[in-house]
């Protein structure tokens, strides 16, 4: 099995787990989790080392992070079984001080990149250690002024141990980003803020790997990862609806069948 | 208080290598020495208060203890959600210093006043508030904040009108100061309490001998949450006088007065002198603003006299 094929198998298992969690919990935020899973798979399966940190700025993607952490052995079966239930430490948006792999509570957009900058500055400048920080953002995150305040900071200080990964699925709370509050030219914006930017298909592991491996020339890195909201489940793909809705039993069965189908289609 | 703050925070930075200082692009003619001395441990986050607090939280999550500085309204209102979510929910040792509490910035106008800062912060989880009574009280607050493992806020104020009056006592933990004690405990009296530099109103009355002959205790609070088990002298005073006059350069709603009133024994009266804007608000010096809302030694003395007459 090639590295990419192995990661695709990981991502498929994580999507199945993720859908089961959402079905059992009757929980929404499915589309934005599915769009992020390939990025999360690569970051947690390959890129992050013990001394590195990961901040999920798009806190509404928490369940996709939980599923990913569980897949890679960072969350136990018992912990994951509590998801969305009374008494859990795994609510719909990450909780503070709940788990070692989740350093920060997020859920209000625009908080992740400043926190990641504080960590990256500490590692690179104050402590002179080699810790890296990855921050996963959504389109909506990039509506927030605080994200761009932090981008200025990362650019100014040349935080080349920081990677801002934008899960750019093009859909946010009430519609398409293009219609709500245009972010294009998105990659140029990050470039203008001093980032080394790679625009890529956020579901292609070879592209993700190449983007994260390329030298940053002393700059913070930004991956503008073009993704599909609802990726892997055709009836959910590219819809605003599946930002919100939970699945019925029939929809869950259809979603699982669709994932299996997608798995049989060889990647281009 | 800024001069005293710079001196105290410089000592705190010197004492703790894990600490750093982040400013929101303010502190001209104040922090140059810190910038020079501490290099990368001095960070100018730019005019970006939300990011500044998030960066501080990130540094704290990575094991550091940041001080964060701006003027009081910018350091609190603009970044309130970052203070709540990023700092307080994670119980991080981020120490926020806001310069210009109350009407300090006077003629700079209402955007620069901070009359609700303590109110918006006091309900946040794990947050502790410090509000020194005068310049010579700042170092103790900075020292106490530096020892905390969780979040804190320091309300600095101008001292142009301040009276540096040596307290009769200062509690090491609460920082509460006793400035005057009743001459005759058997006689009816009044308990005067000021929050932070609000107590200056009473100190000026004392300095002008306007309270001579009045049987008053005068206390200055400087730390929230209150601990009246420790500040037993305040509790005992209120128990005996049953008449409290409270003064604060802050809106009454959300202020320190309403918070302490809850903790006091049943009183005959609780008179609150607080700040507020009027619909026809005009702008001027801090003293002008204090006069506008009745935060004057004369008003305080009147309030004390009214209570004394009622009791006799």
Half-sphere exposure (Cβ direction) of A109: Cα atoms closer than 13 Å: 17
Over residues B20-38, mean pLDDT: 94
Residue A122 to residues A114, A231, B257: CA-CA distances in angstroms? 12, 36, 40
Over residues A82-111, mean pLDDT: 96
With an 8 Å Cβ cutoff, is B126 touching chain A? Answer: no
User: Mean pLDDT score of chain A, rounded to an integer?
Assistant: 95
Find the CATH number of the domain harbouring B128.
Answer: 3.40.50.970
Q: Is B51–A119 a contact, with Cβ atoms under 8 angstroms apart?
A: no
Residue ranges of B 9-48 with Cβ closer than 8 A to chain A: 20, 40-41, 43, 45-46, 48
Task: Judge whether A195 and A221 are in contact, CB under 8 Å.
Answer: yes
Closest CA of chain B from A153, distance in Å: 7
Look at the pTM and tell me if it is higher than 0.90: yes
At residue B162, the pLDDT reads 64
Q: Is B61–A118 a contact, with Cβ atoms under 8 angstroms apart?
A: yes
- State how far the Cα of B76 lies from the Cα of B73, in Å rounded to an integer: 5
Q: Is B43–A145 a contact, with Cβ atoms under 8 angstroms apart?
A: no
pLDDT at residue A100 above 80? yes
CB nearest B46 (choices: A53, A127, A152): A152
Find the CATH number of the domain harbouring B215.
Answer: 3.40.50.920
Burial of B151 (0-12, 13-18, 19+ CB in 10 A): buried
pLDDT at residue A197 above 90? yes
Helical spans, DSSP H, in chain B: 2-15, 32-38, 49-61, 72-76, 80-81, 117-122, 138-146, 200-207, 232-241, 256-261, 286-292, 297-311
Residue B222 lies in a domain: yes
Find the CATH number of the domain harbouring A241.
Answer: 3.40.50.970
User: Mean pLDDT score of chain B, rounded to an integer?
Assistant: 95
CB nearest B61 (choices: A103, A110, A113): A103
Beta strand residue intervals within chain A, DSSP E? 53-56, 133-138, 162-168, 171-172, 175-176, 196-201, 221-226
> Does B99 lie in the same domain as B7?
yes
- State how far the Cα of B205 lies from the Cα of A179, in Å rounded to an integer: 63
- State how far the Cα of A117 lies from the Cα of B238, in Å rounded to an integer: 49
pLDDT of B118-162, one tens digit each? 999 999 999 999 999 999 999 999 999 999 999 999 999 975 556
Handedness of CA B137, B139, B141, B143 (dihedral sign): negative
Type and span of the H or E element at A52: none
pLDDT at residue A2 above 90? no
- Please state the domain count of chain A: 1
Buried b (16+ CB within 10 A) or exposed e, B280-300: eeeeeebeebbebbbbbbebb
- State how far the Cα of B309 lies from the Cα of A240, in Å rounded to an integer: 70
- How far, in whole angstroms, is CA A216 from its chain's centroid? 21
pLDDT of B186-201, one tens digit each? 999 999 999 999 999 9
Residue B162 lies in a domain: no
CB nearest A122 (choices: B48, B53, B59): B59
pLDDT of A142-186, one tens digit each? 999 999 999 999 999 999 999 999 999 999 988 999 999 999 999
Q: Is A122–B63 a contact, with Cβ atoms under 8 angstroms apart?
A: yes
| ipTM field | 0.93
CB nearest A126 (choices: B46, B64, B81): B64
pLDDT at residue B163 above 70? no
pLDDT of B206-240, one tens digit each? 999 999 999 999 999 999 999 999 999 999 999 99
**Residue A130: count of CB within 10 angstroms of its CB:** 11
CB nearest A146 (choices: B20, B54, B58): B54
Q: Is B50–A114 a contact, with Cβ atoms under 8 angstroms apart?
A: yes
- Please state the domain count of chain B: 2
At residue A268, the pLDDT reads 43
> Does B303 lie in the same domain as B213?
yes
Please, which residues bridge with residue B193 across strands?
B219, B246
Residue B205 lies in a domain: yes
Structural domain of A75: 3-264
Chain A's closest residue to B21, CA to CA, is A126
Q: A-chain residues within 8 Å CB-CB of B54?
A: 111, 113-115, 117-118, 146, 150
- State how far the Cα of A38 lies from the Cα of A13, in Å rounded to an integer: 11
Q: A-chain residues within 8 Å CB-CB of B64?
A: 122, 126
Q: Is A121–B50 a contact, with Cβ atoms under 8 angstroms apart?
A: no
Nearest to A141, CA basis, from A175, A165, A117, A105: A165
The residue among B22, B38, B51, B70 with the most chain A CBs within 10 A of its CB, best to mutate, is B51
At residue A4, the pLDDT reads 87
> Does B148 lie in the same domain as B6?
yes
pLDDT band at A243 (very low <50, low <70, confident <90, very high): confident
At residue A261, the pLDDT reads 84
- State how far the Cα of B206 lies from the Cα of B91, in Å rounded to an integer: 40
Q: List CB contacts of A8: < 8 A, sequence separation 6 or more.
A: A205, A263, A267
> Does B142 lie in the same domain as B175?
no
- State how far the Cα of B125 lies from the Cα of A43, in Å rounded to an integer: 33
Residue B228 lies in a domain: yes
Q: Is B48–A96 a contact, with Cβ atoms under 8 angstroms apart?
A: no
Portion of chain A with pLDDT greater than 90, in percent: 90
Q: Is A97–B91 a contact, with Cβ atoms under 8 angstroms apart?
A: yes
> Does B173 lie in the same domain as B151?
no
For strands A196-201 and B19-23, give the pairing.
unpaired
Structural domain of B105: 2-155
> Does B110 lie in the same domain as B212?
no
- State how far the Cα of B33 lies from the Cα of B173, in Å rounded to an integer: 30
CB nearest A115 (choices: B58, B66, B91): B58
pLDDT band at B311 (very low <50, low <70, confident <90, very high): confident
> Does B67 lie in the same domain as B179?
no
The residue among A112, A114, A119 with the most chain B CBs within 10 A of its CB, best to mutate, is A114
pLDDT of A52-81, one tens digit each? 999 999 999 999 999 999 999 999 999 999
């Amino acid at each position: 099995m090639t590295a990419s094929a192995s990661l695709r198998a990981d991502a498929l298992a994580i999507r199945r787990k993720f859908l089961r969690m959402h079905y059992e919990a009757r929980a929404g935020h499915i589309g934005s989790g599915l769009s992020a899973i390939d990025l999360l798979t690569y970051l947690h399966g390959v890129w992050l080392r013990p001394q590195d940190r990961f901040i999920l700025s798009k806190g509404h993607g928490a369940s996709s992070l939980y599923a990913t952490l569980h897949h890679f052995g960072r969350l136990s079966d018992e912990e994951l079984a509590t998801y969305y239930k009374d008494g859990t430490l795994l609510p719909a948006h990450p909780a503070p001080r709940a788990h070692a792999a989740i350093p920060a509570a997020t859920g209000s957009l625009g908080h992740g990149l400043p926190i990641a900058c504080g960590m990256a500055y500490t590692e690179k400048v104050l402590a002179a250690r080699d810790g890296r920080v990855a921050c996963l953002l959504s389109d909506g995150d990039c509506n927030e002024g605080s994200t761009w305040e932090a981008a200025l900071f990362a650019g100014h200080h040349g935080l080349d141990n920081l990677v801002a990964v934008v899960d750019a699925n093009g859909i946010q709370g009430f519609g398409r980003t293009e219609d709500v509050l245009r972010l294009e030219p998105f990659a140029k914006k990050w470039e203008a803020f001093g980032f080394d930017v790679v625009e890529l298909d956020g579901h292609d592991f070879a592209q993700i790997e190449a983007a994260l491996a390329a030298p940053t020339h002393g700059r913070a890195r930004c991956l503008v990862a073009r993704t599909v909201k609802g990726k892997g489940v055709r009836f959910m793909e590219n819809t605003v609806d599946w930002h919100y809705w939970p699945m019925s039993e029939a929809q869950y069965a259809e979603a699982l069948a669709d994932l299996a189908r997608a798995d049989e289609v060889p990647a281009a | 208080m800024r001069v005293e703050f710079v001196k105290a925070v410089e000592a705190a930075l010197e004492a703790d290598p894990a600490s750093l200082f982040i400013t929101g692009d303010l502190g001209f003619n104040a922090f140059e020495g810190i910038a020079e001395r501490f290099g990368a441990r001095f960070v100018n986050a730019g005019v970006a208060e939300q990011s500044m607090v998030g960066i501080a939280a990130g540094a704290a999550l990575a094991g550091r203890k940041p001080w964060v500085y701006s003027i009081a309204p910018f350091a609190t209102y603009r970044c309130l959600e970052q203070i709540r979510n990023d700092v307080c929910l994670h119980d991080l040792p981020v120490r926020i210093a806001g310069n210009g509490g109350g009407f300090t910035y006077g003629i700079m106008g209402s955007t620069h006043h901070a009359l609700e800062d303590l109110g918006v912060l006091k309900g946040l989880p794990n947050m502790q508030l410090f509000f020194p009574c005068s310049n010579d009280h700042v170092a103790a607050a900075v020292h106490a904040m530096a020892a905390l493992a969780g979040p804190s806020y320091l309300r600095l104020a101008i001292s142009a009108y301040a009276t540096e009056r040596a307290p009769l006592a200062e509690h090491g933990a609460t920082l509460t100061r006793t400035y005057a004690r009743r001459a005759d405990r058997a006689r009816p009296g009044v308990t005067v309490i000021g929050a932070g530099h609000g107590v200056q109103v009473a100190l000026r009355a004392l300095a002008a001998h306007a309270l001579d002959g009045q049987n008053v205790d005068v206390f200055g609070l400087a730390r929230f949450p209150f601990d009246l088990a420790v500040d037993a002298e305040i509790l005992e005073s209120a128990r005996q006088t049953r008449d409290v006059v409270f003064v604060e350069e802050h809106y009454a709603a959300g202020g320190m007065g309403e918070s302490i009133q809850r903790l006091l024994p049943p009183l005959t009266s609780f008179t609150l002198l607080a700040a507020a804007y009027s619909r026809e608000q005009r702008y001027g010096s801090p003293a002008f603003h204090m006069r506008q809302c009745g935060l004057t030694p004369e008003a305080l003395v009147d309030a004390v006299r009214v209570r004394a007459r009622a009791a006799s």
